[in-house]
Structure 1
Amino acid sequence: MAEAKKQTLGHRRTECKIIENKAAREVTFSKRHQGMFRKASELVILCGAEVVIIAYSPHGNPFVFGHPSADAVIERYISGGAGTRASKAAAAPSHALDEHKRQLQDSVSKLEEAKRVEAEAGEGRAAGNCSGQMWWDENVGDGIGADELEHYVDSLENLMKMVADRLGIQPCV
């Protein structure tokens, strides 16, 4: 009786061969690749191993797990395992710090450039380029031909009609 109970409650061992049913094969892949990645993660945690797994689904979609990263492990494999982990571990923070310093310098340069442009624009306004007026108060007709001015007026009238329609009021044209 105990023998039969073990068989019904326990997991069945499946024969290791390709699954003929396409749908069952896809389901098995979706379930098992996650378990494989979990086991690789445990190997990394328990043993400090560098691991990479690349698996393609039956549909051809790639699934990748890598620690510290897939690229780092593959590069180490290609280079024949050159370099020790300790030296790479020491170099990684230094490289990251250099990259952050470069990004900070770029950001500071952009900020200084934006401040310079804003200061120049402010000096232009103070000198009277805009004569203290807002953009909508400036004279639009200067330097525009008659055809352009007619098109401008038509565009403004259309805009006023669209705004009036949206607000549900009578346009005042």
Structure 2
Amino acid sequence: MTKGKKSIGRQRIEIKELDDRGKQQVTFSKRRTGLFKKASELCVLCGAEVAVFVFSQKKNMYSFGHPNVETILERYLDGKTVSDSSSLSQELVSVDEFNRQYDQLQKELEKEKMHLAEIEEMNKKMKNTNFGFWWDEPLDENMGLEEMEQYMKALQEVRRKVGARIEELRIMPRTSLMQPMNMPMGLGNDFVNVNSWESNACGGFVCWNNM
């Protein structure tokens, strides 16, 4: 029976400075991200308030803080304890209120966007169903000079016809009074022609001659 290869198990990796500058930059970026992640988890799990500062070899500073770096740093420099930080609690309440108002405004904004979309959709339907006037429609930007001239002539022709029709309607009431008119006299087929009126008076009444 063959024996399997023995494992040497987990070995402790020696921590030492890397010689390669490229590897140093990559490692710094990875470890910095991991450090900030661990600090964030500590804040979430334990309710801790943490501030972390990291400087690279190029003297670039990177920081992480909860609730923010400035508050933690001021408390450290002033020597304030947690019980003395009533202003911090007020700031946290203000932040929570701000977040609540922001969420509310976001919801109202979404409602307004939906309302605007409904109005635009309604306007499209009105145009598709020929509501409104055709002259309110925008001109086609692709129309050439010849097409524009034809369009203008068509508008002028429409204007001429409308003007002629208006004149007809204005003249019609006057001409209708001047035309002969047959009026019924009782039942049957007896009619009176207005042109057959006589000018003589019979006891103060106009005499009618039946045709």
TM-score by length of structure 1 reads 0.46
Please identify the structure whose Cα radius of gyration is greater: 2
Greater relative contact order, per chain length (Cα 8 Å cut-off, separation 6+): 1
TM-score by length of structure 2 reads 0.39
